[in-house]
Structures are given as structure tokens and as C-alpha cells.
Chains A and B, each alone.
Chain A
Amino acid sequence: MSATATDKSAKISVRGLKKSFGSNEVLKGLDVDVAEGEVVCVIGPSGSGKSTFLRCLNKLEDITAGTVTVNGFDLTDAKVDLNTVRQNIGMVFQHFNLFPHMSVIQNIMLAPVELKKLDKAGAREKAMELLRRVGLAEKADARPASLSGGQKQRVAIARALAMNPGIMLFDEATSALDPEMVGEVLQVIRDLAAEGMTMVVVTHEMGFAREVADRVIFMDAGYICEEGTPEAIFSNAQQPRLQEFLAKVL
């Protein structure tokens, strides 16, 4: 547990993170700390590297250079058991990625049962509790295919919470939804924020970012262009790139 993090209280500590796909450098050296209970929203234009950055936080992408430390574990250290670290990081994807061959409740029970965290009965009880929390208890035995987009994403959130993670990552969780379903998903995320979950949220919902974020990071072309409180970012932008971006999206 060699915590090389500079900020001891940080749940996530990123130093000099670089990521290249072939010769294309997508992340060009990022330094970010996320404190316990903090909600960080990442905004920026398409192709700025937001999602890649998020995917580096649980090492779904290989890290080209730099370090990513989560809960004191350096993900770039080959000796670190990624599976153990990931159990403490829930992730929600743009396209839900529910398992179509399983029922809703089986989707949620899979990890706790396979990883022997809970027995079947315990896992079912826990899954039902999570489904109630996202308002979908009556859909427990439905197949994902029969759900609406908003319902799917709420199930995906419940699934990500099944291992009781200390950190949640949201990768444009509402981008694939019809407008009338965005609200129900944001409400679930909002509730999690209120409960004090540590979260990194990549989003295009500026209003939401402004409302729930403790801190907003604006990324552009692989760099962190500007960061600060929602107030500072949305009402007092310093960088021309950010001003330009906000002018387009607000």
C-alpha cells in the first residue's frame, strides 16, 4: 500500500497522466486529485479526452505514462491486483452495457455472487434494496431489453453500486437517453452526491454540473484547461477556450 499520493486525504490522485493510441496522444499530462466525498464534473468538447481520462481511473485503458493512485493503490504498478481495486470503483457507461442474457436482478447480483462477497440470498436482498433505491423494484425479473433507456441506466447504476464502491465514475451517463428520461437518471446521481459518494462525472449537462459539482474540470485537447468551483467556471471563466465552449453550450 505504497501511497505515493501527495495529498493523503485524496481518494484519487493522478500525476502526469499521458495516454496515446498509437501515435495519437489523447492525454498530454494530467494532474488531478479527488478528495473523499468530492463530486468532480468533467466537461469539454468532444475529443478533448474526458472519457479517456475517466477510463484511466479504473484502468480500462492502459496508461502510457504517469501514475493513477486510487485508494492508495498505484494502478500502474503491475503487482497491484486490478480486480480488487476495481471492486471499489463503480462505473456507469454511456450505453449502459447491461448484460442482455440476464434479468435485471441477475445483472446486479453477478459481481457480489461471483466474487463471493455475498451468498445468493444476501445478494438478492442487496440487489432488491438497490432497485428500490433507483425506483425499479418491480422490474427485478425483467430482461434489460424490455426497459426504457432511463430505466436501463438506473439499473446500470444499481449494478455499479452492488459491490459497495467508495468511488463512482459516470461516463456521459445521460448522453444516449431521450430528453424526457435524462431527469430520472440525474436524480439518482444527485441522490448519490447528497449521500457523500466520491464521484467523477463526465457530462454534457451543464446545469447539472453547476448544481451538483464541488469542482468542475474543463478539458481541451488532452489538457486540463481550467478548473474551479462551478461558480468560477460557469460565471467567471478565465480561458478564452472555456468562454468559447460555454458560449456554444449554454
Chain B
Amino acid sequence: MRKLPPIRRRRGGSFAALAAFFTVVIMFFGMGGATALSMPAPASAVSAGVQAADVNGKTFAIATDTTFAPFEFRDGSGELVGIDMDLIRAIAKDQGFEVDIKSLGFDAALQALQSNQVAGVIAGMSITDERKKIFDFSAPYFDSGVQMAVAKNDQDIKSYEGLTGKTVTAKRGSEGETFANSIKDQYGFKVKALADSATMYDDVKAGNSVAVFDDYPVLAYGVSQNNGLKIVTEKEQGSSYGFAVNKGANADLLTAFDAGLANLKANGEYDKILDKYLAKAESTEQGGFFELVKDSFPALMKGLWLTIVATVLSLAVALVLGVLFGFFKVSESKILRGVATTYVAIFRGTPLLVQAFFFYFGLPQMTGQPIDVLTAGVLTLSLNAGAYMTEIVRGGIQSVDPGQLEASRSLGLSYVTSMRRVVVPQAIKIMTPSFINQFVITLKDTSLLAVIGFAELTYQGQQIYASNFRTGETLLIVAALYFIVITALTQLSNVLDRKFNK
């Protein structure tokens, strides 16, 4: 499961770690240290942006997080909204340029910026000294800070003093955690670190923790969405968010952003945008479960459709790969067997997630050729499933009695004809259950593509509960959809199996 915003917002290290990781992957794939070293340095080579003196009429690709409410998230209709989104669109309008928003996820957005797939990133990103080494930042457009919230019905805790002997929660690696730890001895409480906002709020509501320390805008938005908490302290001094471009690139865009921001602040539009998401609007009560089903249905159907598209495309390619390499594996040529064995070893011997990251982030960095998320996803799934199918095909062919091939060859039929008429028809019968199994696995594996921002079913579910805080119910709906589709697919396969493989 992809975590909500979190940690990385405060940590300069996560990006560097990713970069180091890809360097290792590149070397692993035999490109050698030289290639790794000659990887396009940040802000060099192919720039997606324009260096011209004027941004007017230009279109810029801007990357953002998938969900970091209230800065970027999808509303009920699946539209990308939030403070960042409204702000960048308003600034673009003010300055006369166009933006093409790419919702990639936080780490992915920084990766995309580094590899010049996008011109800028706006993703509730704190301006830190470490990041300044890699990126150029705009003037701060938002001042964050930590606040404390407790359960809505909690009448006892009104300040830090009430925390003595209790446990509080904070986002792992976040500013909130740092702050909580800095005062825990003074007030005598314990800090429990959790991974994302929705989980923390659930923890407080469940009574496992009495209070949560979180970034003020995130908390304020959650409260405005009836997340069951109330804020009880003032905002502590915190970091500032900025819009980033690659170091030394797109200076015009940065200048335009600063100019636009100043204009919006002057004409009051900036405050309007902030109020829209942070003001304590006593929003309507949450609807029931079936209302949630109804509201989330369009977005989830969109996701389900992409899940099915990715599954079908991946399986089609994987089938071709599996048959090809499966026959390589049973061939008499040492070279062909070696090729197939290497292929299977690589794709079965590395995690699917690493492969997805590699094809989506690593490959573009190495080749300078951007790759869209569907292509990267299908490439990953088909190469991965193809490796398993290779083994299914090999196993199927080898489990046919060798006497069958001998009998056919003794009649004077060629190897190819013998395979086609005698061995393969019997192998297919043996392979069918394994193939059905692989279909189901691949369909479920599409959910992993959520991490590279592929908007399939799981991703859509995450988007929904990240903004409405109804994690359990939303995941139930998502799981039910998977269950229905997979059960239907399995039943259909079994019917076909019975019909054709009597």
C-alpha cells in the first residue's frame, strides 16, 4: 500500500537513497560504472522546459503528489484539486502560461523533475537546505507548522499539560514527530510513530493514542472533513513550502511563479484559495456506506477499467513471451536455453516493485527517453508474468510423456509438426490451471502499479480515503470489486477449460 504523503516531506535522504538505489540497479544490469557515472546530472541534457525569456503561451508539465490533502487530492468526481492545484492554475492564468499536471506521487514527482520529464514540482514540498542543492525554489507560498488534535469527544486534554502518562502519535520522520519528541520529557508522554495521516487519526479515534501531532494544513483539512478530531493547540513555528524546478533550469518559470504568487496575494485570491480548504467550514455530516459506494463509484470504475486494460495488455504480451521463451527452454540449442534461463532468472529473481520503479524511473534516466505510466506498467507486468509463464510452458511441455514425441517423430513428422499436433495440445491441457492462476496473480499485481501513479483500482481507492478518511469502508469496496472481477474471471476460465480440455 502506498503511504500518504508523510515522512519524505521532512527527509532530504529519501531521494538520495532512491538515486543511489538506481545507480546500483544500473550497475547490476551490466551497464558498468561508467554509464552510471555518466547518468545525466540534474538539470543537464534534455530539458522538458523552455529557457526562453518568456513563458507566455507555453505549456509546462508540472508534477505533484497523488494525494496530500489539502494540497493535492481528487474530489468526488475524480478531479485533481487542492491548494497547490488551485494555486498553480491561478498563477498560470495570471502569467499567461498553461500547465499540464501530472499526479505522480511525491518521490516520483522529484524523480520526474530530476530526469527532466517535467518542468516543475508543486507538492507541498518543504524548502530545505539539502533540496536547495538539487533544486531551485520559488518564494515560500505556504507556512506550515505542527498542531495537536484530540478526539472530538475528548473533554480532558486541552493542552500539552494533559498528556502526562499518555501516548500520542505522529507521522514517522515528520516535523510533528520531531516536535513531539522535543517536548515529551517535559510533559511526560510517549510518542508512537505511524506511517500516514489516516492511520494516525484512526489510532486516536480508537483510543490507542490520546492525541496526534500533525502539520497544521493537513490537520485543519481533516477536521473540516469530519475526521472525528478537534484541534486544541496553536500552530508551532514550522517549515515553508515552495515550488521547485531543476537547479539552473526553467528560471523563467520560477520568476513567473513568484510574480504570479505576489499578484494573487495582492488581489486576495491567495487567501480565498486557502480559506476554501482550511476554513472551519462545518461541513455536512458523512453519508452512509451506500452513499459512499455511490459517490466513489465513478472513480472506482475508472480505476477498474484501467486495471482490466493493464491486465489484458500485460497478459497478452506475457503469453507471447511465455510461449517463446518456454520453447527456448525445451529446445536443443544451448544458446536459446541460456537466453530463456537468464530472462526467467532476472524477472523471477527481482521484486515486481523494483522492476516497476526501474522501468518508470530508472530507464528514462538512463536513456533520456520519457516513458508513460501505462507503458511502464504493462512492460513491468508483462515481463514479470512472462517469466512465470515461461516456466508454466516449459513445465507443461516437459510433463508430456517423451514417448509422445518419439511416436510422432517415428512416423516421419518433423519436430515442429510433432510439437504442434501432438505435444502442445496435451501440454495446454496440463498448463491451463497454472495459466488461470497466473491471470489472477497478474490482475492483482496491477495494484502494485499504484506506486508509480498508475490510476488503477487500488490507486483510486487510496485517493478516495486519503481525502474522506473512511479507510476501512473504502478498502472494503475496493476489495469487493477485485473479488467480483477475479471470481468472474476464474469461473469463466474454468468453464472454458472444461469445454475445450475434456
Contact = CB atoms under 8 A, between A and B. Distances in A.
Q: Is the interface of B mostly helix, strand, loop or mixed?
A: helix
Interface in B412-451: 412-414, 417, 421-422, 425-426, 429
Contacts of B422: 99, 110
Interface in A17-33: none
B409 A84 contact: no
A87 B411 contact: yes
Interface residues of B, number: 18
B413 A89 contact: no
Given A114-B417, A114-B421, A97 B411 contact: no
Nearest to A95: B403
Interface residues of A, number: 27
**Which residue of B401, B404, B407, B412 has the most chain A CB atoms within 10 A of its CB atom?**
B412
Interface string B376-413: 00000000000000000000000001011011111111
Contacts of B409: 60, 86
Interface string A126-161: 000000000000000000000000000000100110
A160 B406 CA distance: 12
Nearest to A59: B409
Given A93-B406, A101-B425, A101-B429, A110 B411 contact: yes
A91 B408 CA distance: 10
B410 A86 contact: yes
Contact of A97 (B401, B413, B421, B429): B401
Interface string A105-126: 0000011001100000000000
A111 B421 CA distance: 10
Interface string A50-80: 0000000010100000000000000000000
A116 B95 CA distance: 76
A28 B407 CA distance: 26
A100 interface: yes
Contacts of A85: 412
A235 interface: no
A34 B72 CA distance: 87
A6 interface: no
B411 A159 contact: yes
A141 to B, nearest CB: 15
A2 interface: no
Nearest to B425: A101
Contacts of A90: 410
Given A60-B406, A99-B407, A110-B421, A83 B426 contact: no
A156 B1 CA distance: 58
A83 B407 contact: no
A111 B413 contact: yes
Contacts of A89: 410
A199 B432 CA distance: 42
A156 B404 CA distance: 12
Contacts of B408: 99, 110
A43 interface: no
Contacts of B401: 97
A70 B421 CA distance: 27
A111 B404 contact: no
B412 A60 contact: no
A185 interface: no
Nearest to B417: A114
Given A87-B412, A114-B421, 10 more contacts: A86-B411, A97-B403, A97-B406, A99-B407, A99-B408, A101-B425, A110-B408, A111-B412, A114-B413, A115-B413
